[in-house]
Amino acid sequence: PPKIQDRISEKTLNEGQRYNVLCSVSEGNLPLTFQWSKNGKTLQESSNLIIRQQDDYSSTLTLAIVKGEDSGNYTCLVSNRVGSDSLISKLQVLVSPSWIRQPYDVSVMAGKKLILHCEATGYPLPVAKWRRTKGFNVAQSSPVTDSHWKMIDVGTLTNSAARKEDEGFYTCEIGNSIGENLSKTVRVEIQVPPYVKLESPQKMVKNGEDSVIVCNISGDKPISIHWTKDGNRPEENQRIQIVQTTLEKTFMSTLNIESTSREDSGLYICSANNTFGYSQMGIRLGIVEPPSQPQEFKVKSVWSRSIRLHWLQPYNGNSAIQNYILYYMKEDKLNPSELTIDGSQTSVIVQRLIPYTKYQFQIVAVNDVGSSKPSKLIETLTSQEEPAAPANDLQVTEKSTVSAHINWKLPSKHQWNGPLLGFYIGYKKTSQSSQVPYSYKKVKFERGKETQNCILDNLQKTSTYTVIVIAYNKAGLGPPSEPVLLTTSYVAVPIKQNTLYLNLKCILCFLFENVMYSVLLI
């Protein structure tokens, strides 16, 4: 069988050079057959590919001018009737870079994805490097090293969210040390629509103070800036002025309001627009002041120890009413008491008052700015209540067989709980069961006298009675006095001279009941 010399060979050539491969048999019987293939495919002659049979024992393959696509494995297969042998020649063509996809000028909206293509073919595989200028007015460039840039597909540069500072000239240089490097410079513009920012969505200013609202705007020039208040453009005058300021990279618009008043409250909107978009932001300006005076302040219900008051919620001064302060005092006092009421309420029950007492009331509303003017002053008299204390020092001063003279002292006046109308004198025989009720005699209150008195008559001779006194007013009965015991006489006893202060009615009672007693009085 045939045997080939140098069965494997390798060659590296530059594009444009000539490639020759000799396939020579050192052993083997004739006739010999030569067949050439590349990467397993049979080769056909062409103007650039020439196959020559040198003699019966050798064949040559020639590529007149090699190109990049000629790289590959070339095989010479020699055979005869007995067997075969082959030669493999590996050709690698060095190719200088050539463009597949060049970069081009790009204009993209800020925040959008930015792609700068830079792709070339060649062998070895070309490597790309990017440089950039920061802006269009800077000549010096520097490598692209920002972390938000990424390199893909050998040379393509990508940025997921373009920024204004990414603007400038970008140069892609790509090479593989074969021939000259490729280079292309492109312009990258970042289109920035307006972006409006206010200090806060809400601002509070005290009535009468100055207000300054600052609106910061970024975006590409030219840019237009406008203000509105509640949908209408504010009218500039000596008190209201709008000042526009151009900074290095941004704009500032200031709305100045001198000596604010309640009418300046409202929604102020700062808006801006340019070729690439529109932006706006609003701020609600509240002119705050103390609340207005509470209105319709009145008494709704009156009890003996409490009253219900009601009022209408006043204008809150653009600041929530935190609470109300109720001032109240007795008519004869100088220092009022205070009661704090939650700002959400418009009524209150004032407790721990004194029955049948005249009180004065005023209320003020309070917010974070201050207090309102006091409401109108209202007066009311609490209802009466039963006397809180009994009559005291009940005594029997004179007695006879069928009657007795008693007197007692009034309760303390502050415990009357209303004007006294009179007294019930209760009496019953001590020997009677506790279940037996008292008999009562009604006596009118004698004004101006600390000691009250009366005569009990129709009593039984030599009998012991339990006597009590109960004061009453319009509201009802007070508690009973401490009981005293009264024992009538067995025989008639002359009345002492010091009892002549008894009223005429009582003396007449004695005249009808005891002749001897009456004669002594006369």
Q: Of 300, 312, 313, 309, nearest to 327 (Cα)? A: 309
Give domain status of residue 58, yes or no: yes
Give domain status of residue 514, yes or no: no
Residue 96, CB-side half-sphere exposure with 13 Å CA sphere: 8
- The alpha carbon dihedral of 467, 473, 477, 481 has a sign of negative
Tokens of 408: 């007692």
Give domain status of residue 134, yes or no: yes
Residue range 208-219, pLDDT digits in tens? 999 999 999 999
* 157 and 123 within one domain: yes
- Contacts of residue 515, Cβ cutoff 8 Å, sequence gap at least 6: none
Give domain status of residue 507, yes or no: no
Q: Of 312, 308, 321, 288, nearest to 375 (Cα)? A: 312
Q: Of 395, 387, 400, 448, nearest to 425 (Cα)? A: 395
Integer Cα distance of 512 and 505 in angstroms: 11
Where in the sequence is the domain holding 226, given as residue range(s)?
195-288
Number of structural domains (the chain) is: 5
Give domain status of residue 500, yes or no: no
> Global pTM?
0.57
Residue spans of alpha helices (H) in 141-198 = none
Tokens of 452: 């009250």
Q: Of 21, 1, 3, 2, nearest to 11 (Cα)? A: 21
User: For the domain that residue 151 is a member of, what is the CATH number?
Assistant: 2.60.40.10
Show which of 191, 206, 230 is a domain's final residue. 191
| 216 within 8 A of 254, measured Cβ to Cβ | no
Integer Cα distance of 386 and 473 in angstroms: 6
| 306 within 8 A of 349, measured Cβ to Cβ | yes
Integer Cα distance of 296 and 55 in angstroms: 131
Give domain status of residue 322, yes or no: yes
| φ, ψ (nearest 5 deg) of residue 509 | -60, -40
| φ, ψ (nearest 5 deg) of residue 187 | -100, 130
Tokens of 265: 């409250």
Integer Cα distance of 12 and 125 in angstroms: 15
Give domain status of residue 29, yes or no: yes
Helix (H, G, I), strand (E, B) or coil at 231: coil
The one-digit pLDDT tens for each residue of the chain (522 residues) are 899 987 788 999 999 999 999 999 999 999 999 999 999 999 999 999 999 998 999 999 999 999 999 999 999 999 999 999 999 999 999 999 999 999 999 999 999 999 999 999 999 999 999 999 998 888 888 999 888 899 988 889 999 999 999 999 999 999 999 989 999 999 999 999 999 999 999 999 999 999 999 999 999 999 999 999 999 999 888 899 999 999 988 999 999 999 999 999 999 999 999 999 999 999 999 999 999 999 999 999 999 999 999 999 999 998 999 999 999 999 878 889 999 999 999 999 999 999 999 999 999 999 999 999 999 999 999 999 999 999 999 999 999 999 999 999 999 999 999 999 999 999 999 988 888 899 999 999 999 999 999 999 999 998 999 999 999 999 999 999 999 999 998 876 554 434 333 333 333 333 333 333 322 222
Question: Judging by DSSP bridges, how do beta strands 84-101 and 8-14 pair with one another?
Answer: parallel
With tokens 């990467």, the residue in question is 39
Q: How many residues does the chain have?
A: 522
* 72 and 44 within one domain: yes
Give domain status of residue 518, yes or no: no
